[in-house]
Structure 1
């Protein structure tokens, strides 16, 4: 079993500003652990986590794949960027963090070069105004407010994924049942020829969470 990254350096004050790892985080870690051997065999060179928050997920991937991979994170929340750097250092993973929205800083420079993309998005259905305001405020609300159907932020990224993934790349997405998981999979296949499948799911209280893995059709 791959250990959960050490987060003992983060305080309650940090979690007042940054999303604290919860059931959705641990579901994603479980999915990545199940894919650990195949991820190693694919010999990735670039890993991008979007909305890294505490830095837990990228540190976990770093413990699977080791130092040969370039680990990049983005987050709109400046404090989350700092926490991700701290967590990487705490767990001996060299994480390069960019304060920015989604994959915008890399959509041209790293087009079709990213081997692993991970996104645990703001998936809670809210008003579109609340989601837009949360993104603009660049604080912890941006970690959960997802707009109409919880897909407002996710849809923006989905339109960019095909242009970012390397030929053998994988994209891991966390979704809520209300986000219409079959619809997401169908749309990505019809629009971009990316094959998606649910690789892990779990009920957490009233939420039914999924991890969807996408890859190019071979």
Structure 2
């Protein structure tokens, strides 16, 4: 039986917010749709530690929290952009849930403590192919540019997490990753299978010039 979860309220966000934080778009909503497809599986697994990398507006972390429902789950989020952390907190409050946004690069201060403990990992990464200078500049500015500039094949930031993933996921752990065709999803699937993980393309959708997909990467 499918489970329908309402899209989080984001009416509190302003044009000024969107000058600093990525406005939810098709890539955001395809991630929500993938989570909704797996809603019963996620609930049955009773995740304890969930984490979103690059929370931006907070819409995905909020949606996941609503999907899981009240219980013992801890939902964390990180973002290199301090403004995004504040906006994520506001989105949580607007939807009457609790989130724990952390201002940091990827998982840097958390990696050792979370090894083998992450049950759900969400990542809508900076996936647009750019040159290395643009990638470096946007990361250093720690503002909205860091939400889309992805370097060579749009995969420089994503590959950092994929290389760590086997050490991060719990025994029932799952990662939901947004990609575009330029990221070469089939190569990602093969790479993760070589690392002993199961990788499946859950959903695919065209949005303007982008062909989006969500990959589920899991232990089993």
The two structures have a TM-score, normalised by structure 1, of 0.97
1:131 alignment partner in structure 2: 135
2:53 alignment partner, one of 50, 55, 58: 50
1:111 alignment partner in structure 2: 115
Structural mapping, 1:10-159, within 5 Å: 10-68=13-71, 69-159=73-163
Distance in 2 separating the partners of 1:90 and 1:56: 11
Where do 4+ consecutive residues of structure 1 move more than 3 Å?
A: none
Deviation of residue 18 (structure 1)? Answer: 0.0
2:170 alignment partner in structure 1: 166
Q: Give the match's secondary structure for 2:12.
A: coil
Q: Number of residue pairs matched?
A: 216
Could you tell me which runs of 5 or more consecutive residues in structure 2 were left unpaired when the two chains were aligned.
none
Is contact 1:188–1:196 with CA below 8 Å preserved after alignment? yes
Deviation of residue 49 (structure 1)? Answer: 0.1
Q: Give the match's secondary structure for 1:104.
A: coil
Deviation of residue 67 (structure 1)? Answer: 2.9
Q: Give the match's secondary structure for 1:174.
A: strand
Is contact 1:134–1:142 with CA below 8 Å preserved after alignment? yes
2:205 alignment partner, one of 192, 202, 206: 202
Query: After superposition, what is the alpha-carbon deviation per residue over 1:162-200, rounded to whole angstroms, capped at 9, x for unaligned?
Result: 11110101000000101000000101111x211100001
Could you tell me which runs of 5 or more consecutive residues in structure 1 were left unpaired when the two chains were aligned.
none
